[in-house]
Amino acid sequence: MKIGFLFPGQGAQSVGMGKDLYDKYEEYRNVYKKVKELTGVDVEDITFNSSEEDLSQTKNTQICILTMSLAILELLKKENIQAIASCGLSLGEYSALINSNSISFEDGVKIVKTRGEIMQKLCPEGTWSMAAILGLDEEKVTKVCNEIKTGFVAPANFNCPGQIVISGEKNAIDEAIEKLKVEGAKRAIELKTSGPFHTKMLEKASIQLRNELEKVQINSFKTKVIKNIDGKEYSEDDDVKDILANHIINPVRFEDGLRRMIDMGIDTFIEIGPGKSLSGFVRKINKELKILNVNSVETLQNLINEITISNGGKI
């Protein structure tokens, strides 16, 4: 069994996510405690007691999703469940880098808090939106986005076959959706995000984030991590700080990353954190792979059982 970890990004959040894990496991609670000590952010209160609107503020969403993913990782470490490679969707790339030891827990938590604040503060004025377009290829989606003249819209995420996310001004997104439906799009789903992420509109945020990344120490990779920016694995020669700064102004090549992991021989994918979207992306590429997710006590136990059975009674 070759395991790959997947970490979700912004848009997967929901109030109360992971509450049963928090209530049951001390190791899980300790991560929330450490994050609060490092950042001053009461992640527990925001995650479990705030409104959807408050949780969906970028400065809150990013640190809350990261904390949940890192807390689940602690539970997996206890069970000796490890991956040979990992990939995160946008924000999730930081969870993957922390898991690989390329970025320390402390530095990772602090820079994600800062990243969320920068992306919220330096989001340009306007009404922004993101939408997942189902049923069209990259060429058609890009062509329609380039034809929109009423406002800015561009492809932002290439998630899996037949799912591409567009990002931009709300009126331009609405017009693009209508044109994409004429082109044959099966459906358009508005996402729970609040800015033109992964487009040139966040240039100022990218520059400021690059400055903040100077405070982060980059270590050798303990396990392989797949980049969003090109779908390839990080090498020791990569400038991780530049890649992470450019990450927020370039499209996410998540499908390419998944295909790279499959080419590496990964046959079991484990999605770690809220939601199950990334599991769905894997299924769109290859339904024969084993795909599991962990976001609750029940799903954690299911994972442990599955791996135990696959390994002949051993974790």
Name the H helices within 240-296. 240-247, 254-263, 277-285
Burial zone of 181 (CB within 10 Å; 0-12 exposed, 13-18 middle, 19+ buried): middle
Q: Which one is catalytic: 86, 129, 198, 277?
A: 198
CA-to-CA separations, 115 to 91, 172, 199, in angstroms, rounded: 9, 26, 16
Q: Is 247 a catalytic residue?
A: no
Dihedral angle computed from the Cα positions of residues 182, 144, 157 and 303, in that order, rounded to the nearest 10 degrees: 10
Sheet (strand 3-7) strand order? 224-226, 85-88, 3-7, 268-272, 290-294
3-state secondary structure of 246: helix
State in Å, rounded, how far the first CA of the chain is from the last one.
Answer: 11
User: To the nearest 5 percent, what fractions of the chain are helix, strand and coil?
Assistant: 50, 15, 35
What token pair was written down for 57?
A: 């503020």
Residue with tokens 């496991």: 25
Q: How many residues would you count in the chain?
A: 315
Our answer to whether residue 198 is catalytic in this structure is yes
The CB density around residue 215, as the number of other CB atoms within 10 Å, is 11
Instruction: State the catalytic residue, choosing from 56, 69, 86, 90.
Output: 90
CA dist., res. 62 & res. 11, Å (int): 9
What amino acid positions are annotated as catalytic residues? 90, 198
